[in-house]
Amino acid sequence: MAVKQRARNQEDKVARRQAILAVAARLLGRHQYGRITMAEVARRCSLAKGTLYLYFRSKEELFLATLEAELAAWFDVLSVELAALEPGPAQAPDRFAAVVTRTLSARATLVELLPLLHTVLEQNIDVETATSFKRMLLHKVQAGAEQVERAVPGLPPGSGGRVLLRLHALLVGLRQMADPAPTVAEVLARPEMAPLRVDFEQELSQSLAALVRGMLRVHPVPAG
């Protein structure tokens, strides 16, 4: 995808930035993060490498911005999906977990980048970039927490945010387990290794539902 070589005003700069993020996301859909270089991103954007660095000072900053856009979009979709859930406390954990899993599975870039957040993407950014990202995340988690608590009757006020943070931990661990190295994947394909194989979507949905049910047992829904 070619990106205009000169951005003369703020509107052009914003458009170019969005175009760069789109290219980065597409590259991530074809290659592992570690194989992508800033030189390749610049080439795909028809930009000089130095021009790319005017927008993103490092590869980590570029893909953190990509993750930020993906997270914001996912939270928006999740809000709509949770608002449409039918009431029913008994089925709420399973319905909630199903919606979360389905909306996450539809965003491959998000699922690919979240496991890299703490160990890679946050390792080579400045305080300003880190602050901006965390403020965005705080805002989205706080708004999303209210939606979670409405979708799952019985969760006490304030616990929706913990559900989302624990969801992150589940996603990171399960994503890594479900995507083994090629040699390990070959070993796990053997019939006797079936108990060690991880189906990401199935395990995420079941684990999240179990987590929520456990939190409800600590704070049970009042009878009547």
CB atoms within 10 A of CB 215: 19
Question: pTM of the entire structure?
Answer: 0.89
What local confidence, expressed as pLDDT, does residue 220 receive? Answer: 57
Reported as a single tens digit per residue, the pLDDT across 60-103 is 999 999 999 999 999 999 999 999 988 777 789 999 999 999 99
What local confidence, expressed as pLDDT, does residue 199 receive? Answer: 97
CB atoms within 10 A of CB 37: 13
Report the pLDDT averaged over residues 139-145: 96
Q: Is residue 33 part of a domain?
A: yes
What local confidence, expressed as pLDDT, does residue 160 receive? Answer: 96
Task: Write the CB contacts of 177 (distance below 8 Å, at least 6 apart in sequence).
Answer: 198
What local confidence, expressed as pLDDT, does residue 1 receive? Answer: 47
Confidence category of residue 223, pLDDT binned at 50, 70, 90? very low
User: 126 and 31 in one domain?
Assistant: no
Give the CATH number of the domain where residue 176 resides. Answer: 1.10.357.10
C-alpha 142 chain-centroid distance: 16
Reported as a single tens digit per residue, the pLDDT across 169-205 is 999 999 999 999 999 999 999 999 999 999 999 999 9
What local confidence, expressed as pLDDT, does residue 11 receive? Answer: 85
Q: Is residue 223 part of a domain?
A: no
What local confidence, expressed as pLDDT, does residue 88 receive? Answer: 73
Q: Is residue 224 part of a domain?
A: no
User: 213 and 107 in one domain?
Assistant: yes
147, 79 Cβ separation under 8 angstroms: yes
Confidence category of residue 2, pLDDT binned at 50, 70, 90? very low
Percent of the chain with pLDDT over 90: 86
151, 92 Cβ separation under 8 angstroms: yes
11, 20 Cβ separation under 8 angstroms: no
Which one, of 200, 45, 197, 17, lies nearest residue 110 by Cα?
200
Domain coverage including residue 13: 1-56
User: 187 and 114 in one domain?
Assistant: yes
SS3 state of residue 61: helix
